[in-house]
Structure 1
Amino acid sequence: MDGVPGISFPGIAPGGTFTYRFPVRQSGTYWYHSHSGLQEQSGLYGPIVIEPAAGERFPADRDYVVMLSDWTDEDPRAVYAHLKQQGDYYNYAEPTAPEFFRDVRKQGLRRALAERRMWNRMRMSPRDLADVGGATYTYLLNGMTSPGNWTGLFKRGEKVRLRFVNGSAMTIFDVRIPGLKMTVVSADGQDVEPVVVDEFRIAVAETYDVIVEPADDRAYTVFAQSIDRSGYTRGTLAPQEGMSAAVPAMDPRMPLAMVDMMGAMSSASLSRRERMPEGRQGVRAERSAHGLPERSPPTSLPMGEGGMAHHARSEYRNPGVDMRVDMPRTNLDDPGAGLRGNGRRVLSYADLHTIGGPLDPRQPNREIELHLTGNMQRYMWSFDGVKFSDAKPIRFRAGERLRMVLVNDTMMNHPVHLHGMWSELENPDGTFLVRKHTVNVQPAQRVAYGVTADAPGRWAYHCHMLYHMQAGMMREVAVA
């Protein structure tokens, strides 16, 4: 059962009621939220925990939900209007003149000018890490601000399970607990082979269960900083109420790297970027005012690095598409911009292995490829350059096993959520990796996952960044 007005049901009228009835077929950590009128941004959401009938595979002495979210005092419709007027309205970290002179000292005048010229000609920014940030957002942990200091109690030596849920509208968080290792045991409600990390990135709509074992009678800070480093939220694990630990400084804001724009370019090619000031190798910046029509590359794309991408014709000469990645990367071991090489053990999708393997062992009998497209300056978002209101439904045949391929032709992360069916993420060689309901696709990245069409009906398929979905990055999936 689902709750998307206009697709799966008419919606709940003001003053009305609706009873959701569904069989509980799985256990784990999940959440619910409104799919109407940007209400998710206003707090209409909450966690759902389903306990296994036979008990947890990884038992713990304490069990806490840690729900991360973003709050704004603005009307969500005003936030969206600001973004439509100016895509970087809330971005207070764009490159500045003093930073240019710093780059001149480090790189030399020629290279510094070439880099600025490249970004300016494409009307893009290496600082587009988040559309909405701390300029309007307050970040919350279980509905509390950092001074509120949500506290989870423990006794020394106990195992504590923390069920992290990212219920944000737009914020990707990087989470760590200084002084404690975290053992990740579940992703999107599905048990995984335990993996020990210092930090993990949690995209919008994802959930991760971790187990920690505090060895000392002291407080520990649960620290979650936004991907753009415009703010953070924190809570505390402690043996008694009223305690707190030092809050770490936020990491420096790291700009997007060339790999986030060019994908699977070789390091040798990247080192020549000062001779390619427009950055046109590996990525095509398309402007309706000047670009000429181009021929679509070959339709096949090897899973290995360096394959040429196939772009739908609707991506060309389209004011809603400002970039196309010709050679997307397929690496799943990259923790992402801002986390690379930070000296901590950071979780990546390559670390996740769902216990028990895929639900459906069949090989896919067909493949559907979609490109995540947009124009950041105009704040237009879509699949294959076609916004939701103009798109036809994607049709699955009931019972079939198929492969969905997503190629991110933008420089932003897109956590893509398919309602009603599991997404079984594959390694680049096509083998099963991890079962999820939301798959975050990094900039200039290609991912593939198997889907079994075992849920007849009409389902939403969308980027879980609320304003991306609102702007058009959504499709209907019809299973019959």
Structure 2
Amino acid sequence: MTDTPHHQERRRLLQAMAATGLLAGLETFLPGYARAGAGAERHLAGDARVPGGRPRSVTQDFYIRREGIGIAGGHAPSAITINHSIPGPLLELWEGHEARLRVHNLMNESTSIHWHGILLPFQMDGVPGVAFPGIQPGDSFEARFPVRQYGTYWYHSHTGLQEQIGQTGPIVIHPAEPDSIQADRDYVVVLNDWTFEDPARVMAQLKKMSGYYNFNKRTVEDFVEDVARSGWAKTLKDRQAWGKMRMNPRGIADVTGHTYSYLMNGLHPEANWNALFRPGERIRLRVINASSMTYFNFRIPGLPLTVVAADGPSIEPVETDEFQIGVAETYDIVVEPREDKAYTLMAESMDRSGYARGTLAPRLGMSAPVPALRAQPQRTLVDMGMKRNMLIMGPGKKPNTRLEGDSVAIKEAAGPVVAQHGPDHHGAGNATIAKVQRRRLGERGAGLEDVAHRVLTYSQLRSIEPMSDKRAPTHTVELHLTGNMNSYMWSFDGVEYSDSKVIDFPYGERVRLIMVNDTMMEHPMHLHGMFMELENGQGEHLPKKHTISVRAGERVSLLISAVEPGRWAFHCHLLYHLERGMFRVVRVSNLPGADNA
């Protein structure tokens, strides 16, 4: 696909913004944790620490507005702000106390806020059509509930595509007991992907051409190189196989840096958000992936990272050098910089089309070298749900070719095969199946397989506290994550949400949820209202997750205590996948067929 005048104009615009260190117009909307000082230092984070303070009940108001962004050159886009900021203000709560959260809709369209990962009555969960009708123009809604947890979370709109244009924000809940994670400074690090395109236009382009934003497709030059390396026959078979699946081995992300700018606490990389430290201090960073479609690989070159919490609850500390964070996940890390110098906070998009960036520094205005973007990952036989030399089977088809060649070489570190796919190919709503299903919890994230340093894996996550519910599961639900890139359809078991049935979790029972990813993309799956305990081999210390990234060709198993009655959303947290059908309702009830609505 050739570059268009629209995209050329956008690049010129972003270059002009970068020259000032800003996404023009957005500086007006920076939240308090992205600001500090005055004058030339106004974008540096002297006051970005989580305030904390005396445990108390909290009443907080959220005013939702559409506000224009002033940009030269005739552009007049708008954003959705919360209390005049993008991202929204920090919400601090205290475990054991009450939260009273009042949302006021000052727009001329319906809206909502979902308190992501928070345990609360389902009527307060903020999902229109599932938990409540939504907040109409001019109306307000109050979520009032006792706070029953601690950790790092976030909030966002659950109405249409509003999340894409600013309606997100961080949540920090302080524990009732003394915090086991001791730190001298405590910062939130909110990652977003931002586009000046209308999200409806982004959706329309994806529906017309799923690879519209992917400019990293294989070229004639790649073909010549593959022929020289593997020969004509193998190269042609490789291309034929990918063509039959209508997939691109470089299809890592649906929406890329071609339209996205990646922000850290609302700031463009050139603005260089700063977090301050004194050498020898312990610094806690609460990393929140509040983006709509982007996985990030997070690292601080020159500093080891100790991961101390995942999706809120504390875990046994894991020292590493980099981690991949899926959309909607959170990780708390502790670092201990001992030298009087600056360090780069590097959040590289998984497809390598851009990055968010900040600086950890002893003084305002410092910066450190920004690593170059690494080579883009490619999909492999493992992502296809295949073994080496396995025949490719299209839905309802006979074997057609063998897939070989270096471009899809199987990784030696691939997890073990744990199951074979059954005969159901999930109909027209699905284009591929994972014939071989693997346990991939011990694998590094896409593109991190061969880096020389340590990388966090799901298999390393171990809860500090043993599980409170040690019962064996009495109810099992298996769901397949399915999609068809031709029509940009996403679903469970090949069935879009509009045609789906409610998933029943019997109230009070222990449920095993199995997910099989039949697509060739990662999907961050989020269950509202309840934690999922990831069966990762950690015995009675399985980690709690509100969002689990399911890799291509993976079979993953989770345990859930169905003790939160009501109707709960369950969906892929890639926003455009959710909107295109990868969404279901989970009903927790002891009355078969009851709505609890």
TM-score higher than 0.5 here?
yes
The match for 2:143 is 20
The match for 1:249 is 372
Structure 1 CA distance for aligned equivalents of residues 143 and 233 of structure 2? 62
Q: Is the aligned partner of 1:456 residue 2:568? A: no
Paired residue for 2:447, among 338, 363, 367? 338
Q: CA deviation at 1:133?
A: 0.4
Whether the 8 Å CA contact 1:426–1:432 is kept in 2: the answer is no
Equivalent residue of 2:512, what SS?
strand
Equivalent residue of 1:170, what SS?
coil
Structure 2 CA distance for aligned equivalents of residues 404 and 325 of structure 1? 18
Letter of the 1:349 counterpart:
Y
Q: Is the aligned partner of 1:170 residue 2:293? A: yes
Q: Is the aligned partner of 1:375 residue 2:484? A: yes
- Change in Cα spacing, 1:447 to 1:306, as seen in structure 2 (3 Å) is closer
Paired residue for 1:155, among 259, 278, 281? 278
Q: Is the aligned partner of 1:363 residue 2:465? A: no
Could you report, residue by residue, the CA deviation over 1:321-368 in whole angstroms, capped at 9, with x for unpaired residues?
A: 100112110131101220102111000100100111223111101210
Letter of the 1:222 counterpart:
L
The farther-off stretch of 108-117 and 210-219 is 108-117
Could you report, residue by residue, the CA deviation over 1:287-319 in whole angstroms, capped at 9, with x for unpaired residues?
A: 7xx789xxxxxxxxxx962422336x4x44x22
Letter of the 1:126 counterpart:
P
Structure 2 CA distance for aligned equivalents of residues 179 and 374 of structure 1? 40
Could you report, residue by residue, the CA deviation over 1:229-283 in whole angstroms, capped at 9, with x for unpaired residues?
A: 11111000000110000000111002111111125x2xxxx1x36xxxxx51xxx
The match for 1:87 is 210
Paired residue for 1:310, among 422, 436, 441? 422
Paired residue for 2:584, among 441, 466, 475? 475
Paired residue for 1:30, among 146, 149, 153? 153
Could you report, residue by residue, the CA deviation over 1:174-229 in whole angstroms, capped at 9, with x for unpaired residues?
A: 00000000000000001000000100000000000000000100000000111111
**Percent sequence identity over aligned pairs:** 52
Equivalent residue of 2:125, what SS?
coil
The match for 1:395 is 504
Letter of the 2:210 counterpart:
G
Whether the 8 Å CA contact 1:350–1:433 is kept in 2: the answer is no
Counterparts of residues 9-408 of structure 1 (less than 5 Å): 9-263=132-386, 265=387, 270=388, 272=389, 279-280=391-392, 284-286=393-395, 305-310=417-422, 313=424, 315-316=425-426, 318-408=427-517
Structure 2 CA distance for aligned equivalents of residues 358 and 309 of structure 1? 31
Could you report, residue by residue, the CA deviation over 1:407-435 in whole angstroms, capped at 9, with x for unpaired residues?
A: 00000000000000110000269875311
Q: CA deviation at 1:388?
A: 0.6
Letter of the 1:420 counterpart:
G
Equivalent residue of 1:83, what SS?
helix
- Change in Cα spacing, 1:304 to 1:251, as seen in structure 2 (3 Å) is closer
Whether the 8 Å CA contact 1:166–1:203 is kept in 2: the answer is yes
Q: Is the aligned partner of 1:420 residue 2:529? A: yes
Equivalent residue of 1:175, what SS?
strand
Whether the 8 Å CA contact 1:324–1:409 is kept in 2: the answer is yes
In the comparison of the two structures, how many residue pairs are matched? 451
Q: CA deviation at 1:400?
A: 0.8
Letter of the 1:323 counterpart:
T
Letter of the 1:101 counterpart:
V
Whether the 8 Å CA contact 1:64–1:152 is kept in 2: the answer is yes
Could you report, residue by residue, the CA deviation over 1:10-60 in whole angstroms, capped at 9, with x for unpaired residues?
A: 100011100111111001000000000211101101000011122310110
The farther-off stretch of 366-375 and 330-339 is 330-339
Structure 2 CA distance for aligned equivalents of residues 291 and 463 of structure 1? 31
Equivalent residue of 1:95, what SS?
coil
Letter of the 2:226 counterpart:
D
Whether the 8 Å CA contact 1:388–1:474 is kept in 2: the answer is yes
Whether the 8 Å CA contact 1:29–1:50 is kept in 2: the answer is yes
Equivalent residue of 2:146, what SS?
coil
Whether the 8 Å CA contact 1:364–1:402 is kept in 2: the answer is yes
Could you report, residue by residue, the CA deviation over 1:138-164 in whole angstroms, capped at 9, with x for unpaired residues?
A: 000000000111000000000000000
The match for 1:276 is none
Structure 1 CA distance for aligned equivalents of residues 272 and 283 of structure 2? 18
The root-mean-square deviation of aligned C-alpha atoms, in Å, is: 1.7
Letter of the 2:421 counterpart:
A
When Rg is computed on C-alpha atoms for both structures, the one with the higher figure is: 2
Could you report, residue by residue, the CA deviation over 1:69-127 in whole angstroms, capped at 9, with x for unpaired residues?
A: 10000111111111011111100011111111011122222222221111112211111
Q: Which has the higher contact order (CA 8 A, sep 6+)?
A: 1
Structure 2 CA distance for aligned equivalents of residues 444 and 178 of structure 1? 31
Structure 2 CA distance for aligned equivalents of residues 205 and 474 of structure 1? 15
Whether the 8 Å CA contact 2:227–2:235 is kept in 1: the answer is yes
Structure 2 CA distance for aligned equivalents of residues 15 and 291 of structure 1? 58
Whether the 8 Å CA contact 1:31–1:47 is kept in 2: the answer is yes
Structure 2 CA distance for aligned equivalents of residues 38 and 331 of structure 1? 31
Letter of the 1:350 counterpart:
S
Equivalent residue of 2:526, what SS?
strand
Q: Gaps (5+ residues) in structure 2?
A: 1-123, 400-414, 590-597
Structure 1 CA distance for aligned equivalents of residues 191 and 185 of structure 2? 19
Equivalent residue of 1:128, what SS?
coil
The match for 1:297 is none
- Change in Cα spacing, 1:48 to 1:127, as seen in structure 2 (3 Å) is same
Equivalent residue of 1:179, what SS?
coil
Whether the 8 Å CA contact 1:223–1:234 is kept in 2: the answer is yes
- Change in Cα spacing, 1:117 to 1:438, as seen in structure 2 (3 Å) is same
